[in-house]
Amino acid sequence: MPVFKDQTGRTISLKSIPKRIISLVPSQTELLADLELTTEVIGITKFCIHPQSWFRNKTRVGGTKNIKLDIIDKLQPDLIIANKEENVKEQIEELEKKYSVWVSDINDLSDAYEMIKKIGDLVERKQKAEAITESIKSGFSRLSDFKQISTCYLIWKDPFMTIGSDTFIHSILSIAGLNNIYQNKKRYPQITIEEIKQRNPELLLLSSEPFPFTQKHIDELQIHLPNTKILLVDGEMFSWYGSRLLKTPNYIKSLRQQIN
C-alpha cells in the first residue's frame, strides 16, 4: 500500500490510485483540472470557481472554512486534498478519522512547486505535474530585476487587513519588486488608515479577494493618501499557488508597466 507524506509532515496511505477525490482548496482544484482529473474529482468547495465547468457541475461540499461533513460522507471519497491555512484544523481532524486527507502548507514558490509535484505523485499524474512546474519556473525566470517600490497590500476592509512576511502573497510581492511595508508583521494583521499614512507607501494595492475592493474604495482611500498610487489587483495572481501560477509572471509584467 503506497504511503505519501504531506507538507505538514503527516503520512497517508492509499489502497489504489484515487478515483473519488474531493478538493477543499480553490487553487488546488484548478490544479487538479489541469492535471486532467475531470472524472476523478467528485467534490469541490463553493469557492472553487476555476474551471467554470467544474464550478457549475461538481458537487459542492460547503466553503473552505465551513465544510459539510454530511455531503462528504455521501460522496465517500478515497482522497481529500486540503490546506493548513485555508481549512479549519478541527474539521480536517474530523475528516481524518474516516478518510485519507493530504494537507498542503504553502508559504512561497518553492512550497508551491513541491505541492504540485507531490499531488502529481498522489494522483498518478507525475509527468504532467512536472511539466506544469517547469513551465511555471520558466515564466518566473524571465522576470527582470525590478526597481523596489514601497507597497501596502490590502486583503480586507472594516477592519483593514494586510499581509505579513510569512505569507505566500508576500513572496509574490517580493518577486515583483514590491517592497511590503508590513514585512515586519506576521500573517494577516489588522491596520488603520492612519498607520498606512504614517508609513507613506508609494503604492497601495487593493486585492479582488477575499474582500472585493472596487474603484469606490480607491476614491475613498485616495483622499487620505494623495501621494500614493492606488490600484485594484487580481488577488488570484498573488494568492493562488496552483497552476494559476502559469499566468502570474505575465500579470506581474503588465502590473509593473502600469505602475511605471
If asked whether residues 188 and 215 sit together in one domain, one would say yes
pLDDT at residue 186 in the model: 92
Q: If you write DSSP's letter for every residue of 20-37 in order, what string do you get?
A: SEEE--HHHHHHHHHTT-
The tens digit of pLDDT for each residue in 145-193 reads 899 999 999 999 999 999 999 999 999 999 999 999 999 999 999 999 9
pLDDT at residue 144 in the model: 84
Report the relative pairing of strands 11-13 and 3-5 from DSSP bridges.
Answer: antiparallel
Residue 132's domain is classified under what CATH number? 3.40.50.1980
What's the whole-number average pLDDT of the chain? 96
* Cis before 159 (ω within 30): yes
User: Which of 139, 169, 204 marks a domain boundary?
Assistant: 139
Does 31 reside within a domain? yes
If asked whether residues 9 and 134 sit together in one domain, one would say yes
Give percent above pLDDT 70 in the chain: 100
Closest alpha carbon to 95 in 24, 178, 174, 158: 24
pLDDT at residue 136 in the model: 98
The tens digit of pLDDT for each residue in 52-95 reads 999 999 999 999 999 999 999 999 999 999 999 999 999 999 99
What is the number of other CB atoms lying within 10 angstroms of the CB of residue 95?
21
pTM of the model: 0.94
Quick one: pLDDT band at residue 19, thresholds 50, 70, 90?
very high
* Grid cell for residue 175: 518577486
User: Which of 107, 139, 171 marks a domain boundary?
Assistant: 139
pLDDT at residue 112 in the model: 98
Query: How many structural domains is the chain composed of?
Result: 2
